Amino acid sequence: MTEGANVPAGRMNGGRAMAEMLRLAEVGPMFGMGGFQLLPFYDALHQLGLRHFLINDERNGAFAADAYARVTNRPGVCDGTLGPGATNLVTGLVESLNAGTPMVAIAGDSHRAHSWKNMTQECRQVDILRPAVKELIRVELTSRLPEMMRRAFAVATAGRPGPVLLDVPEDVCHGEHDFTAEDFYIPEETLTAPSRRTRPAQDAIARAVALLARAKRPLLLVGGGVHLSAGQAALQRLAESCGIPVAHTMSGKGSIACTHPLSVGLFGRYSRIANDLIAASDCLLVVGCKLGEIATRRYALMPAGVPMIHLDIVAEEIGRHQRTHVALWGDAAAGLDDLTAALADDAARLRRERQDYLAEIPVRMAKWREEASPRLQSTERPINMARLCQGLNNVMPAESIVVADGGFAAHWTGLIYDTKAAGRHYIADRGLASIGYGLPGGMGAALAAPGKPVVAVTGDGGFNMGLGELETARRCGANLTVVVVNNAASGYVKALQHAMYGRRYQSSDLVEMNYAAIAEQMGCRGIRVEDPAAVDGALAAGIAENDRPTVIDVVVTRDPGQMLPGVDNRAVEIKKGDRVA
Query: pLDDT tier at 565 (50, 70, 90 boundaries)?
Result: confident
Q: Are residues 123 and 46 in the same domain?
A: yes
- Domain end marker among 363, 389, 410: 363
Total domains, the chain: 3
Host domain of residue 429:
377-575
pLDDT tens for 419-456 read 999 999 999 999 999 999 999 999 999 999 999 999 99
- Residue 504: CB partners within 8 Å, gap ≥ 6? 497
Looking at residue 578, its pLDDT comes to 44
Q: Give the model confidence (pLDDT) of 359-415 as tens digits.
A: 999 999 999 999 999 999 999 999 999 999 999 999 999 999 999 999 889 999 999
How far is it, in rounded angstroms, from Cα 565 to Cα 316?
33
Does some domain include residue 270?
yes
Can you say whether the dihedral through the CA atoms of 191, 192, 193, 195 is positive or negative? negative
- 328 and 209 assigned to the same domain: yes
Does residue 167 belong to any structural domain of this protein? Answer: yes
One DSSP character per residue, 295-354 reads TTTTTT-SPTT--EEEEESSGGGTTSSS--SEEEES-HHHHHHHHHHHTGGGHHHHHHHT
CB of 69 within 8 A of CB of 96? yes
Residues contacting 226, CB < 8 A, separation 6+: 232, 235, 252, 255, 287, 288, 332, 333
Q: Is the CB of residue 229 less than 8 Å from the CB of residue 328?
A: no
Indicate if 262 and 358 belong to the same structural domain. Answer: yes
Residue among 515, 481, 464, 461 nearest 402 (CA):
481
Task: Answer yes or no: do 356 and 388 share one domain.
Answer: no
Q: Does any domain span residue 580?
A: no
CATH of residue 172's domain is 3.40.50.970
Whether 185 and 65 map to the same domain: the answer is yes
Does the residue 455 lie in any domain? yes
Residues 271 and 218 grouped into a single domain: yes
Helix, strand, coil content of the chain in percent (nearest 5): 45, 20, 40
Q: Taking Cα atoms as reference points, which of 145, 83, 143 lies closest to residue 110?
A: 83
Residues 320 and 350 in one domain: yes
User: Under DSSP, is residue 250 helix (H, G, I), strand (E, B) or coil?
Assistant: coil
Q: Which tens digits make up the pLDDT trace of 494-536?
A: 888 988 898 898 998 889 999 999 999 999 999 999 999 999 9
Helix count (H) and strand count (E) of the chain? Answer: 24, 22
**Average pLDDT of the residues in 340-366:** 98
Residue 493 resides in a domain:
yes
Pair 45, 159 in one domain: yes
Asked whether residue 206 falls in the same domain as residue 300, the answer is yes
Q: Which of 315, 341, 363 is the last residue of a domain?
A: 363
Q: Which of the four pLDDT bands, split at 50, 70 and 90, describes residue 490?
A: confident
The reported pLDDT for the residue numbered 7 is 72
Residue 370 inside a domain? The answer is no
Q: How high does pLDDT run on average in the chain? A: 95
23-74 pLDDT, tens digit per residue, is: 999 999 999 999 999 999 999 999 999 999 999 999 999 999 999 999 999 9
Query: Burial of 579 by CB count in 10 Å (0-12 exposed, 13-18 middle, 19+ buried)?
Result: exposed
Length of the chain: 581
Three-class SS state of 36? helix
Tell me the three state secondary structure of residue 220: strand
* Distance separating alpha carbons of residues 296 and 290, to the nearest angstrom: 10
Contact 459, 487 (CB under 8 A): yes
Instruction: Give the start-end residues of each E strand in 62-217.
Output: 76-80, 103-109, 135-138, 163-169, 176-179, 185-186
CATH of the domain at 346: 3.40.50.1220
197 in a domain, yes or no? no
Q: Are the beta carbons of 42 and 52 closer than 8 angstroms?
A: yes
Q: Are residues 151 and 259 in the same domain?
A: no
Whether the predicted pLDDT of 121 surpasses 90: no
φ/ψ region of 76 (left if φ > 0, alpha if ψ in -120 to 50, else beta) reads beta
Q: Are residues 338 and 480 in the same domain?
A: no
Does any domain span residue 372? Answer: no
Cis amide bond preceding 382, omega within 30: yes
pTM of the model: 0.95
SS3 state of residue 416: helix
Of the residues 136, 169, 191, the one at which a domain ends: 191
Are 358 and 396 in the same domain? no
| Pairwise CA distance, residues 179 & 21, whole Å | 12
